[in-house]
């Protein structure tokens, strides 16, 4: 037995993750994007706003590697610059959404009473507005700047996170171990951070992945409407918006960033699916087999 154990131990780092094929593919694509977020600008052949050709909407291979956009800028270079903006903004907004949503959601579930009623009703009022419209109003009133954009999108997304974490908190809050902590005399902060949060981690991580993709789509949507990242900075959503006119001229300058957004969100979703499967211990296919 002992000589069999050694390779098993060596392989355990990867075996412990229990990667599936889809998870490997999705993970590698995501890693590539993260790598480019760090090193994209140094790898880019041209500047972010540099006009390299007099020909606008040049096809792939002509002018730049992936053609040029409506001003004759290199699509490939802008794409590499855009990764950073798209990923970092999405990450910050998701973190804001989670910090606000999870804290308030758990607090509402644990404290109940007036706190729960007041917070829940406010959140419901916010949820009643179409999220894009709400963001439009806020950004319209406060002007377009990155901090305003990030905070607004974060808060809009936090309403969903609030509902999920309140429901999770309600479920976990009635468990005996939480009652045991209450009987011991623990305060709300201990119960929230030590008793409830660790037990809600798995669904919250899955939720994080989903909200992250929502926030990429939402930010891209706002950029597309002209309310997000402003030119000449590169952002994938903005690139779609800038170059949408080129579609009628047969240019792929709008389709390429759209495809990148799709790859990012789909891969993130696949990874979240894999994570959820891993938590349940058995894949969907194995269940059907029964």
Asked if 113 interacts with other proteins (CB under 8 A), we say no
Asked if 284 interacts with other proteins (CB under 8 A), we say no
Asked if 175 interacts with other proteins (CB under 8 A), we say yes
DSSP secondary structure string for all residues of the chain: -HHHHHHHHHTHHHHHHT--HHHHHHHHHHHHHHHHHHHHHHH-SS-SS-B--SSTTPPTTSSSTT-B-TTSBBHHHHHHHHHHHHHHHHHHHHHHHHHHHHHHHHHHHHH-HHHHHHHHHHHHHHHHS-HHHHHHHHHHHH---HHHHHHHHHHHHHHHHHHHHHHHHHHHHTSHHHHHHHHHT--HHHIIIIIIHHHHHHHHHHHHHHHHHHHHHHHHHHHHTTSSSPTTS--HHHHHHHHGGGGGGT--TTHHHHHHHHHHHHHHHHHHHHHHHHHHSS-HHHHHH-
Asked if 189 interacts with other proteins (CB under 8 A), we say no
**One symbol per residue from 145 to 164: x for binding other proteins (CB under 8 A), - otherwise; what is it?**
--------------------
- Contact by Cβ (8 Å): 72, 56: yes
Q: Which of 221, 208, 211, 213 lies closest to 133, judged by CA?
A: 221
What minimum distance in Å lies between the beta carbon of 222 and other proteins? 38
- The size of the interface with other proteins (CB under 8 A), counted in residues, is 25
Asked if 16 interacts with other proteins (CB under 8 A), we say yes
Alpha-carbon distance of 208 to 273, in angstroms, equals 12
- Taking the least distance from each CB to other proteins, the nearer of 163 and 278 is 278
Asked if 112 interacts with other proteins (CB under 8 A), we say no
Asked if 184 interacts with other proteins (CB under 8 A), we say yes
- Taking the least distance from each CB to other proteins, the nearer of 3 and 250 is 3
What minimum distance in Å lies between the beta carbon of 181 and other proteins? 8
What minimum distance in Å lies between the beta carbon of 236 and other proteins? 36
Asked if 61 interacts with other proteins (CB under 8 A), we say no
Q: Which of 180, 249, 266, 284 binds other proteins (CB under 8 A)?
A: 180
- Taking the least distance from each CB to other proteins, the nearer of 145 and 279 is 279
Give the number of C-alpha atoms closer than 13 A to the C-alpha of residue 222, restricted to the C-beta side. Answer: 31
Asked if 194 interacts with other proteins (CB under 8 A), we say yes
Asked if 182 interacts with other proteins (CB under 8 A), we say yes
Asked if 179 interacts with other proteins (CB under 8 A), we say yes
Asked if 205 interacts with other proteins (CB under 8 A), we say no
Asked if 278 interacts with other proteins (CB under 8 A), we say yes
Q: Which of 20, 186, 245, 275 binds other proteins (CB under 8 A)?
A: 186
Residue ranges in contact with other proteins by CB under 8 A: 16, 18, 175-177, 179-186, 194-195, 198-199, 201, 278-282, 287, 290
């Amino acid at each position: 037995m002992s000589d069999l154990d050694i390779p098993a131990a060596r392989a355990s780092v990867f075996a412990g993750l229990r990667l599936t094929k889809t998870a490997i593919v999705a993970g590698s694509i995501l890693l590539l994007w993260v790598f480019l977020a760090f090193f994209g600008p140094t790898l880019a052949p041209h500047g972010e706003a540099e006009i390299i050709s007099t020909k606008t909407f040049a096809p792939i291979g002509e002018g730049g590697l992936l053609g040029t956009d409506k001003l004759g800028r290199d699509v490939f270079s802008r794409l590499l610059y855009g990764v950073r903006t798209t990923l970092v903004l999405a990450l910050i907004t998701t973190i804001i959404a989670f910090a606000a949503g999870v804290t308030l959601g758990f607090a509402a579930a644990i404290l109940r009473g007036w706190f729960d009623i007041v917070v829940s009703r406010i959140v419901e009022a916010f949820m009643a507005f179409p999220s894009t419209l709400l963001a439009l109003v806020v950004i319209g009133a406060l002007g377009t700047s990155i901090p305003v954009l990030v905070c607004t999108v974060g808060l809009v997304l936090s309403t969903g996170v609030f509902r999920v974490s309140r429901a999770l908190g309600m479920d976990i809050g009635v468990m005996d171990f939480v009652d045991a902590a209450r009987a011991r005399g623990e305060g709300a902060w201990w119960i929230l951070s030590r008793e409830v949060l660790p037990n809600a981690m798995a669904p919250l991580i899955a939720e994080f992945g989903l909200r992250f993709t929502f926030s990429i789509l939402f930010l891209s949507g706002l950029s597309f409407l002209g309310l997000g990242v402003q030119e000449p900075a590169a952002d994938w959503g903005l690139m779609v918006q800038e170059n949408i006119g080129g579609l009628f001229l047969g240019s792929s300058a709008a389709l390429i960033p759209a495809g990148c957004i799709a790859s990012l969100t789909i891969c993130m979703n696949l990874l979240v699916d894999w994570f959820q499967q891993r938590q349940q211990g058995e894949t969907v296919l194995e269940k059907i087999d029964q």
